[in-house]
């Protein structure tokens, strides 16, 4: 769903558990209703469309968006595999294999993602962070980020 920047909206961050990559973060714009409560209208924010939502973004948000973009599964696949593969093919090949080579790839991916998570967490202080619901709604249970 497209979020209208002509109506009130908020930028939020959502945490979800990827089947293979573990906990990942995503950024969203969520439309607000007349009472300034969240609606089900939301749109993912990436570096490609962030300028549309500039009125609600600060420099910290732009850095969070950049970091969260770098942990998306398509980026992981392109970074850790030379040939173009569909996500299910990549994850099956890497995560369902017991080969030593694939274990090294898994370890490299884990290290890469842990570094990104380490850089994201301090930037989330003062931001709205939610656990993504099972049905993919970005506004689930709110999470307080402590220092």
pLDDT in tens, 24-38: 999 999 999 999 999
Supply the mean pLDDT for the chain: 94
Decide if 4 is inside a domain: no
β-pairing, 142-143 vs 129-131, is antiparallel
Decide if 136 is inside a domain: yes
Decide if 110 is inside a domain: yes
Q: Looking up tokens 């898994």, which residue turns up? A: 106
Q: Are 73 and 18 in contact (CB under 8 A)?
A: yes
**What is the average pLDDT across 50-57?**
96
Domain that holds residue 13: 9-143
pLDDT in tens, 118-136: 999 999 999 999 999 988 8
Decide if 2 is inside a domain: no
Q: Domain total for the chain?
A: 1
The model's pTM is 0.92
d(CA 24, CA 113): 8
Decide if 122 is inside a domain: yes
Structure tokens at 90: 């990549």
């Amino acid at each position: 769903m497209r979020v209208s920047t002509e109506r009130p909206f908020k930028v939020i961050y959502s945490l979800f558990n990827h089947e293979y990559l573990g906990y990942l973060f995503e950024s969203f714009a969520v439309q607000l209703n007349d009472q300034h409560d969240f609606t089900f209208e939301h749109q993912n924010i990436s570096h490609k469309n962030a300028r549309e939502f500039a009125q609600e973004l600060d420099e910290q948000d732009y850095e969070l968006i950049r970091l969260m973009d770098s942990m998306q599964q398509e980026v992981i696949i392109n970074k850790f595999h030379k040939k173009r593969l569909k996500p299910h093919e990549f994850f099956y090949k890497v995560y369902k294999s017991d080969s030593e080579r694939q274990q090294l790839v898994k370890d490299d991916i884990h290290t890469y993602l842990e570094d990104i998570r380490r850089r994201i967490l301090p930037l989330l202080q003062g931001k709205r962070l939610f656990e993504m619901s099972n049905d993919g709604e970005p506004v689930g249970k709110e999470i307080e980020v402590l220092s």
